[in-house]
A and B are shown apart, each in its own frame.
Chain A
Amino acid sequence: MSKDKDSSKTTSNIVFAVTAVSCVLFGIAAFFFVLNTPSGWMLGPDLKPMTQASSYAYDIDSLFGLITFLVGFWFIVSEVVLFYFIFRFRRKTPDQKAQYISGEEPHHKQWISIPHILVILCDVVLVVGTVYVWYKIKQDLPPAQATIRVTGQQWAWTFEHPGPDNLLEDDPATTDVDESADNITLVDELHLKVNTVYHFKLESTDVLHSFSIPAFRIKQDSVPGRTITGWFEPIKEGEYDIQCAEMCGIGHGLMMGRLYVHSEEDFNQWQKPMTSSSTAAKMKNPTAPNQVALGRAALGEK
């Protein structure tokens, strides 16, 4: 009988030791994994850190890093305390009875209340970081150097580039010129110039989609009937994935595009043959009087 008890005690000790050590090792490994990849902790399909190709990719990664760092710290601390207590207050003699502790004594309570306050302080740090990043990416809209239109539909992304005149839509001040005539519309292929602040106008023609460029750390839902304006600034030349990140039907997993970030030279080289014949078509109706100007004059406006 006592032999059985001894062996079960040994087994449970081994199980306990292995669990405790592996938990702590896992925490430490996760920790170093975050710290050792300064270029971005997000992994791409090749299991290598994903490029930070937009100006705010670093902010997003830092925020994720901060969260992982703080949560990881508390994970390790709480696991160490948990397993220490299990070990410290284990059954030491075969006839020892379990003791009921209500947790009302101050020296018992402080194991909860002190970490509680510390965790709340960490939360404040996270909230400050989150608000800063949210404001920078979603609230603040830096002036655009170019604007593109992105349309999601089952199951393709349509990108309307502004073309050589760098204007996506008609400017009310120069209404006799159709600014959209030289626009370049491509399906599942987006071309951007490096170090340029782009505004995107995101639309959807059928259901919810989500415009996601992992290398830019951007993910924005597109909603039918709404035009959502956002921005990004590519900072690294290269070829990146575009995907849909909102379940949108049977083809959702195949709704992918390719993003090319060019140097200024390469961008012009790409753009030139795309719009060679469109300059003549650009004038809507060169001889007709400016209808809007006439209308404004008739209404007594200047």
Chain B
Amino acid sequence: MMMAWITTGAVEAADSAFSLHTKAVYNAVCSVCHGDDGTGKTVGDNRFPAVAGLQKWYIEDQLLKFKHDGRGADARDKEGLMMHALVRTLRTDEEIEKMASYIASQLKDTAPALETVKGNVENGRKIYTAQGVMGCIRCHGDKFQGRDEEDADQLIPRAPSLTSQEDWYMLLQLEKFRSGVRGAPARTLIGKNLEQRRKDFARRQKREEKLNGAALMQAMSQTAFATQKDQEQAMKDVVAYIYSESRKSK
């Protein structure tokens, strides 16, 4: 009896940061695509991105968006549609918060660099480090570290870190932002309520969020490449630059 009590206590202590349930859900559902260690996976023709190494707020925000038609609810978004369905495993905002916390705190970004996007690194550097509102560096930072706090006065939203992402994924998302597949909620009844849900969510997390990072990203991706001759190649250049630098810095 005493023994049982001690063992249970030990297990509870070890998992105090996140419940056993969260860990079990990750291992049963998320790990099928994102890998046991969260570094992504390739299954046949399908590639799945890394989740390890992302900031907690970003994971939480994206899960919430997937859940409430803010992302992945576009018929053209093949990969997003998968996540849009699978996120339903997490039934409440609390479960989403716990999962984000588990991924951000327990999974370490250990994936080896594997270059799949070829591009002109110098041109990419120019676009990334451009001065003014068009430069990626403004939000994602000189070390690709992103930023955890927004600066509402300067119109700089929070931004995810780019250091843990693989190049094919960054290119894919950049294309989705540019074509309008990603960045705005769907016109479904659920999507129309998303803004309110996000506000409520932010209030519960005791933080304030004024800027809509995804909408800004959509606008930036559509304007930043407008002056480039070959826009498709320019996107590859940027990704090649980020990938070469972020992997070098490791």
Contacts and interface: CB of A to CB of B under 8 A. Distances in A.
Interface string A187-201: 111000000000000
Interface of B: 29, 32, 69, 73-75, 78, 81-82, 84-86, 88-89, 186-190
Contact of A188 (B73, B78, B187): B73
A186 B186 contact: yes
Interface of B is mostly: helix
A158 B81 CA distance: 10
A298 interface: no
Question: Which size class do A's interface residues fall under?
Answer: 20 to 34
A142 interface: no
A274 B192 CA distance: 12
B187 A186 contact: yes
A274 B187 contact: yes
Given A151-B75, A254-B86, A254-B89, A189 B81 contact: no
6 contacts: A151-B75, A158-B75, A187-B73, A189-B190, A250-B86, A274-B187
A187 B82 contact: no
Contacts, number: 52
A293 B81 CA distance: 40
Contacts of B32: 250
Contacts of A258: 189
Contact of B81 (A156, A185, A186): A156
Given A151-B75, A158-B75, A187 B88 contact: no
B88 A154 contact: no
A49 interface: no
A156 B84 contact: yes
Nearest to A160: B75
Given A158-B75, A187-B69, A187-B74, A254 B188 contact: no
A158 B29 CA distance: 24
Contact of A254 (B75, B78, B85, B186): B85
Contacts of A256: 85, 88
Given A155-B81, A258-B189, 6 more contacts: A155-B82, A186-B187, A187-B84, A188-B84, A189-B188, A251-B82
